[in-house]
A = this chain, B = another copy of it.
Amino acid sequence: MSVDILYKQIAAFYRSLADENRLSILMNLSAGAKTVSEIVEQTGLSQPLVSHHLKELKNGLIVRTERKSSFVFYELTEPSIVELLRLTNQLVVELSEKSRSVFTSGEMPALPFPMMMKKMSKIMNQALKEKQK
């Protein structure tokens, strides 16, 4: 596969995550499958807006749907996506502390990073075993 196409795909994936409201929705789904109504209620967003963002996430292969009677349940296609979010969270905190330290210069906060990575690796492996069944 050409590198350009790969960049395009990765960019598209990041674009799916590059929205405040979609992140809110994803964190909601991290606990398990939910209906649109539940997501609307828990995020405080309007129903059409939630539907729109869910569509984006579905296009990005990040969530999938399952209809049960009159309800449509949305769930993560891959649980490890949540771990990616956590990793990113840590990285963002990291980067902002680093940039701040340019000015404060001297402090060096404790880094939960290594431990987090270990845990993440574990969860990832587990998710993949789960998948191979």
**Looking at chain A's contact residues, is the secondary structure mostly helix, strand, loop, or mixed?**
helix
A1-25 CB mask vs B (1 if < 8 Å, else 0) is 0001011111111110111101110
Q: A14 is contacted by which of B18, B81, B113 (Cβ under 8 Å)?
A: B18
Distance A9 CA – B4 CA, assembled complex (angstroms): 27
Contacting B at CB under 8 A, from A61-94, are: 61-62, 77-78, 80-81, 84-85, 87-89, 91-92, 94
For A19, the chain B residues whose CB sits under 8 A away are 11
Q: How big is the A interface, by class?
A: 35 or more
B17 touches A14 (CB 8 A): yes
Instruction: Confirm or deny: A31 has a beta carbon within 8 angstroms of a beta carbon on chain B.
Output: no
- From known contacts A10-B89, A87-B84, A121-B121, infer whether A62 and B95 are also in contact, taking CB-CB under 8 Å: yes
A74 to chain B, nearest CB (A): 15
Closest chain B residue to A85, Cβ basis = B10
Which of A11, A14, A85, A125 has the most chain B CB atoms closer than 10 A to its own CB? A14
B20 touches A88 (CB 8 A): no
A21-42 CB mask vs B (1 if < 8 Å, else 0) is 0111001000000000000000
Given contacts A10-B92, A77-B95, A118-B121, 6 further A-B contacts (CB under 8 A): A7-B23, A61-B96, A78-B98, A111-B128, A111-B132, A117-B125
